[in-house]
Chain A
Amino acid sequence: MAMVGSNRMQNRWIQLYIPLIFFLLFLIFPFYWMLIVSLKPDADLLNTKLNPFLLYHVTIGHYTYLFTNTNFVRYVWNTMVVTVGSTVLSLFCSILIGYALGRFRFRGGGFLGSAIFLAYLVPPTLLFIPLSQVVTKLDLYNKYWALILTYPTFLIPFASWLLMGYFRTIARDLEDAAMVDGASRLQAMRTIVLPLAMPGVLSAGIFCFTLGWNEFLYALVFMGSGNMKTVPVGVVTDLIRADVYFWGSLMAAGILGSVPVAIAYSFFVDNYISGLTAGATKG
């Protein structure tokens, strides 16, 4: 019996723990690297005699530089405004689209579902040219609305598709029962279906938040003037000067810039996982 237990333990290590450890190292390493580079003095960053993976001396100089020589706080605020705005707008639209395509059977519904997903595949490097004309015509250049309205072009397709799958997993009988009791379609959706679909909505929300937070190209071309920069655009503008990179401060910005996304994930991680898997496997 002891042999059997030992084998089981051995298998568990080989099949679970060791792969998990490798996976964890793989995921954590970029953050570890950002953290140590952001805390190393410049002299240590350039000293090839030191082990680059270890921290010998600590400085907060790079963080000080980031806050005093760039408009990092303003960039974070700008990013927050456009990310939250575009996420809320995308979720609102995606819930309606997802509900309609997931619940109703109507002519062209299947085609519409596929078309929405295909829209997600159009690369932003192609879309930014026509979108720039739209942004100019609406006089939105260098305003928050320029990004709040353009980010949904890539957020809504995926979020709608995710929610469409999720809405299909919720039993139709619950909604029918509510409507038999006198609820309208919208009431049934709001009070019965939406609370049950919350894990899916949260996953879609986290997805939108992450993509919006990290987006670069639209932020550069539609809203990159003066103080109206997002974190990804602002830090490369201020911390790369010709072939001189301010690595320490760039990494400090990377660490601090990932905090809001990490917080969003940490709060909703359980819902996120269930939301993604439900949408992916049931339909």
Chain B
Amino acid sequence: MSDERAQRLIAEAKTLRYSRRTVLKRAAALGLSAPAIAGVLGATGHAAAAQSGTPAVNLGGSLNILQGTYFVPAAQDFFTKQAKDWGKQNGVDVTTDYINWPDLQPRTTSAVQAGSGPDIVEMWPGIPYLFADKLVDMTDLAEKWGQANGGYYDWVTKTASVNGQWKTMPHGTSSIAVIYRTDLFKAAGYDTFPETWEDFFKAGKALKAAGHPLGQALGQSLGDPPSFCYPYMWSYGAMEVEADGKTVAFNKPTFVDGMNTFIQAWKDAYDGTGLGWDDTGNNSAYLAGQISATLNGSSIYLSANDPTSKDSNPELAKNTNCVPLPKGPTGQFCNLGSRSMGLLSYSKNQDAAKAFLGWFFSIDNYKAWIEAYKGYIIPTGPTLATEPVYTSDPKLKAFIEVAKYGRNQGYAGPSNLKSAQAAANYVIVNTFANAVQNGDAKSAIEQGARQLERYYGR
């Protein structure tokens, strides 16, 4: 494959009489390896790569990459080093910036409006829709990456592509599972974790009576509350819209029944203060030993299990296990969406940016990155799901297992502007919060359906 591209470039360079610099830029854009580039340079009459001390390939210019702050600091340092090393090898001045997740969007908006700023920006699920016409098409690279990974999970395609067109490069996401205290569940008579929501709530009732309720954030926060509410809704037969992306399918009798079950469970099994929790509330409550189970990313377990972490608690880590979300009458689901890296069209160094992305999205390199991330980020396709970083610790297996039944926000349609608006206005989460506060599942769901009509029916 690489030879074929190299041969094509040699022919192209000879026909169009490319300069050495143009050959290097094209070679980098094609993702050729350093030896292949040396071969092309030799065949086209240019000097081969320079000796040590100077870059192997001199793409020149600068490249700024903006990402959300990494949960695992070592992984952030690793990516910075990866990027800098690549820059040195290719003669590009690479800088990396990390900001708090919710701040990525205003920063990107400002950069796009100004036509200046970071060259490559990390985007959250659905965000590529917002900036689709300001992004450089990534179809070639994305298709190559998909082939190398056994294809893409459906939730990746629906959240990182724009109507099926790859405008960004998906790089996976943090996953979600139930994190629970094995010692407390055992004491309550549960040697194995309950498989269905109803059994989970029954266990929760016993655990609450014993002083350790279940914990669930239902505040207006983008992480943990939707991670519970969307899968619960799906597992009771409802969804935001049908596959046409317009017909709201939220107010279903099975979902009303499921909501009534949850309202009762909230009283019997849950810590009532969860109504005010954001994404950090359940972490703190679990690490404090206040609750017996919660839905979360692997951050709780990783923090407790890491001797260098501020929240290190080996005893708690030993008594913690992680499992996929329980099943409902219509199945077992998980709310997932892929993050991705977008190359902004205003970038003055698009060749270097493409070359960097081509290099980053190579299997060996990506593997090293997910290893540095300790498995916190799950990959975009099934091939890498068997990597030891996901399977060596049995307690972390759940986080990769849920990738098989992940669904995107906006399902059965894609994660587009409409689903982003519904999510940003917390329609689904507020439906649950209203239901447990008012005790009236039917009216809460009807109200949620009316709001969804406003977003999807336009």
Chain A interfacial positions (CB closer than 8 Å to B): 42, 45-48, 128-130, 132-133, 135-136, 141, 217, 220-222, 224-226, 233, 236-238, 240-246, 248
Contact = CB atoms under 8 A, between A and B. Distances in A.
B310 A237 contact: no
Give the interface centre of B69, B70, B289 by most chain A CB atoms within 10 Å: B69
Given A136-B116, A221-B106, A242 B95 contact: no
24 contacts: A45-B284, A46-B288, A48-B288, A128-B110, A129-B113, A132-B114, A141-B117, A217-B106, A220-B99, A220-B106, A225-B95, A233-B99, A236-B103, A237-B98, A237-B100, A237-B103, A242-B69, A242-B299, A243-B224, A243-B280, A243-B296, A244-B71, A244-B283, A248-B310
Nearest to B223: A243
A161 to B, nearest CB: 28
Nearest to B76: A241
B69 A240 contact: yes
Nearest to A249: B310
B332 interface: no
Contacts of A224: 97, 99, 103, 107
Contacts of B437: none
A128 B116 CA distance: 14
B110 A47 contact: no
A135 B117 CA distance: 11
B280 A245 contact: yes
B114 A135 contact: yes
B107 A221 contact: yes
Contact of A244 (B95, B107, B299): B299
Q: Give the dominant DSSP class at A's interface.
A: helix
B125 interface: no
B111 A132 contact: yes
Given A42-B310, A241-B69, A133 B114 contact: yes
Nearest to A218: B110
Contact of A236 (B100, B287, B289, B299): B100
Contacts of B296: 243
Contacts of B224: 243
B279 interface: yes
Contacts of A236: 100, 103
Contacts of B64: 225
Nearest to A69: B73
Contact of A48 (B95, B116, B279, B290): B290
A236 B104 CA distance: 13
The 3 lowest CB-CB distance pairs between A and B, nearest first, are A242-B71, A136-B114, A221-B110
Nearest to B69: A241
Given A224-B107, A243-B224, A141 B280 contact: no
A42 B303 CA distance: 12
B115 interface: yes
Interface of B: 64, 69-73, 95, 97-101, 103, 106-107, 109-111, 113-118, 174, 223-224, 279-280, 283-284, 287-290, 296-297, 299, 303, 310-311
Contacts of A242: 69-71, 101, 174, 297, 299
Contact of A226 (B95, B174, B288): B95
A7 B223 CA distance: 58
A224 B114 CA distance: 15
Contact of B100 (A47, A141, A240): A240
A129 B115 CA distance: 11
Given A241-B70, A241-B72, A244-B280, 19 more contacts: A45-B284, A129-B113, A132-B114, A135-B114, A136-B114, A136-B116, A141-B114, A220-B106, A224-B99, A225-B118, A233-B99, A233-B103, A236-B103, A238-B69, A240-B100, A241-B69, A241-B71, A243-B223, A243-B283
B424 to A, nearest CB: 14
B272 to A, nearest CB: 15
A91 B64 CA distance: 36
A224 B99 CA distance: 8
B114 A226 contact: no
Contact of B109 (A129, A222, A237): A129
A128 to B, nearest CB: 6
A172 B237 CA distance: 77
Contact of B107 (A136, A220, A240, A248): A220
A130 B106 CA distance: 13
A130 B310 CA distance: 42
A245 B221 CA distance: 14
A198 to B, nearest CB: 38
A246 B98 contact: no
Contact of B103 (A42, A133, A220): A220
Contacts of B73: 241
A73 B103 CA distance: 22
Contacts of A136: 114-117
Contacts of B116: 136, 141
A162 to B, nearest CB: 29
B18 to A, nearest CB: 32
Nearest to A221: B110
A132 to B, nearest CB: 4
A6 to B, nearest CB: 45
A237 to B, nearest CB: 5
B302 to A, nearest CB: 9
Nearest to B221: A243
A35 to B, nearest CB: 19
A233 B69 CA distance: 12
Contacts of B223: 243
Nearest to B217: A243
A243 B287 contact: no
